[in-house]
Structure 1
Amino acid sequence: MAEWQNGVWWSNDNLRLHYRDYAGPADKPPIICIPGLTRNARDYEGVAARLAGDWRVICVDLRGRGESAYAPDPMSYVPLTYVQDLERLLDTLGIERFVSVGTSLGGIVTMLLAATDRGRIAGALLNDVGPEIDPAGLARIRGYVGKNANHPTWMHAARALAEANAAVYPGWGIEQWLVMAKRLFKLTSAGRIVLDYDMKIAEPFRIPGNESGVDMWPALDALADVPVLVVRGERSDIFAAATAEKMVARLGKAEGVTVSGVGHTPTLEEPEAVAAIDRLLAKVANE
């Protein structure tokens, strides 16, 4: 795996937040990777390892995830707060323009960042998310988020993930489930393996509308002038094919790619996604 430096920044409400910083050239906009609801910076290990060196890659832990602090007020676990947190990161690091890679919740945050400061995003990848979210998928996520699980070994954690998510990645073997387990879980001082996020992130998410907070189509329109890649898992229950097609048609410089045989969400390490990411970054480099 590529090497990285750990970095920290402080939120407006004085939370210590964490990111991984993979080195790359200063003459290109850095890539900022924003994870999904229950994920963390480790979710992008494969993406960062492939791109680091050619691009600077910054993978963030949103508040309440990974090595970032847990929020005293669980109602701050909403997209508009994440946007404010990331704006503080950009200002702290002196980043004027960047490529935003957002998976699920991270894609919602990407669209809101674009709407907040239209000129700051040089390109964007929206991974299995759009302005409209399928209610069935939301119900599934609400059914498991915030329910703690702990396991005695990594193999137990991997097998539990495989059982719960067989429909999402039907072709995976145990080695792939082990990789995911080590991204989603952490080892505690007591020797148990537990989910690596604050269970209280579920509290605002259970309130309908809090998954995004606003009408997202105008936010998407803020990306109309930059290269955009819309990635969809073929089996996704969150992101409808019709929504993806509408997004690509609505944006001026967008490409849509479907990753076959997977659900919500593609890992972005699949061959279709890898090739599409390279095309996106080539467009950004040539802008």
Structure 2
Amino acid sequence: MNASSGPAAYRELFYTSQDGLRLFSRDYGQRGGKHLPVICLPGLTRNSKDFETLATRISATRRVLCPDLRGRGRSQYCESWSEYTPQNEMLDVFDLMGAAGIHQAVFIGTSRGGIVTMLMAAQRPNAVRGAVLNDIGPEVSIDGLKRIASYAGVMEAPASWTEAAFKLRMMNERDFPTLTGEDWYEQARRTFAEEAGVPKIDYDGKIGLALRKGLEAANGALPAMWPQFKALGHVPALVIRGENSDILSADTVKRMEKEHAGLASVSIKDRGHVPFLDEPEAIGALDAFLERC
């Protein structure tokens, strides 16, 4: 393992999945502390960079693992689109826990990462000691998924970082109306990798193909995950929803509150899919939640 330098210092953790992929995770904070470690799982085409601010802040008191799921960031790509499934990603996270020597953790799952978290709770309940679901729940809006499928794996890399920030702004400004030009530039740095000084797509395009194949197979009727969500019933849970989200509806959040007696919820103003977890409301809710864990 090598350590990064600077304010967001982390160790580099490489491990091997059950099917032989070389996978990567950032490893923040001290091992063996008195608090439960936290594992942050990113969205469909996202990676560990999304959690840099959050991980740096909470690693003062907890160990924090932020993996690049298969086909994202610094993790190895799969040979076939069919290998990009939440079930395989769940197994990869169990492999990460084994490599890191962690038996139980609190999970913060953004979008796809929240789906993986619910699957983990159903598969190995004792491994999950708390769960944050960031703009995701047991029911997902198919219109929102179609929007994501329209660009995932087909968008070309911008020619410059200025163009990258502009593209993200044009695609998302309606749901994130308060972000400044500097904010969009920062989001571009988290969205794209850098190669020879210019932006590069930071995930395997076959992930987008897998999503489109899944939508085609669903034929407009996405399966709900209420049994998997109920598997979180024995642990503290928090759902964070972007006020403008087209993935997680306010009605789904209301049902989640009824189904889980220990669920807290917070809505983030001027955010779509997904909140960045650096908003004051999100920070307050996360701090209170981690105290419960």
The answer to whether TM tops 0.5 is yes
Unaligned stretches of 5+ residues in structure 1 = none
Normalising by structure 1, report the TM-score: 0.95
How far did 1:159 drift?
1.0
Q: Distance in 2 between matches of 1:146 and 1:162?
A: 18
Aligned counterparts, 1:1-287, within 5 A:
1-24=7-30, 26=32, 27-189=34-196, 191-206=197-212, 207-208=214-215, 215-284=224-293
Mapped to 1, the partners of 2:175 and 2:121 lie a distance apart of 29
For 1:187 and 1:204, the matched residues in 2 are separated by: 25
**CA apart distance, 1:11:** 0.6
CA RMSD of aligned residues (A): 1.5
Offset, 1:121: 0.8
What is the distance in 2 between the residues matched to 1:49 and 1:227? 23
Aligned partner letter, 2:274: T
SS in structure 2 of the partner of residue 181 of structure 1: helix
CA offset at residue 55 of structure 1?
Answer: 1.1
Show CA shifts across 1:243-264 (max 9, x none).
Answer: 0111122112110100011110
Is contact 1:25-1:53 (8 Å) kept? Answer: no
Aligned length: 282
Q: What secondary structure does 2:150 align onto?
A: helix
- Quick check: 2:161–2:198 contact (8 Å CA) kept in 1? no
SS at structure 2 position matched to 1:9: strand
1:11-70 deviation digits (Å, cap 9, x = unpaired): 111100000000135222110000000100001011112111211111010000000000
Give the letter aligned to residue 248 of structure 1. Answer: E
Whole-angstrom CA distance in 2 between matches of 1:89 and 1:50? 22
2:260, 2:274 → 1: CA distance?
22
Cα distance in 2 for residues equivalent to 1:24 and 1:263: 33
Q: Distance in 1 between matches of 2:153 and 2:8?
A: 31
Q: Percent identity?
A: 41
- List alignment gaps of at least 5 residues for structure 2: 1-6
For 1:25 and 1:72, the matched residues in 2 are separated by 34
Q: Is the 8 A contact 2:80 2:206 kept in 1?
A: no
Q: Give the Cα–Cα distance (whole angstroms) in 1 for the partners of residues 158 and 152 of structure 2.
A: 17
* Distance of 1:156 and 1:134 partners within structure 2: 30
Residue 86 (structure 1) shift? 0.7
SS in 2 for 1:151: coil
Moved more, 106-115 or 194-203: 194-203
Q: Residues 196-240 of structure 1, C-alpha deviation per residue, up to 9 Å, x if partnerless? A: 001111122112268xx9641110011111110100000000000
Is contact 1:225–1:252 with CA below 8 Å preserved after alignment?
Answer: no
Work out the CA distance in 2 between the residues paired with 1:219 and 1:281: 22
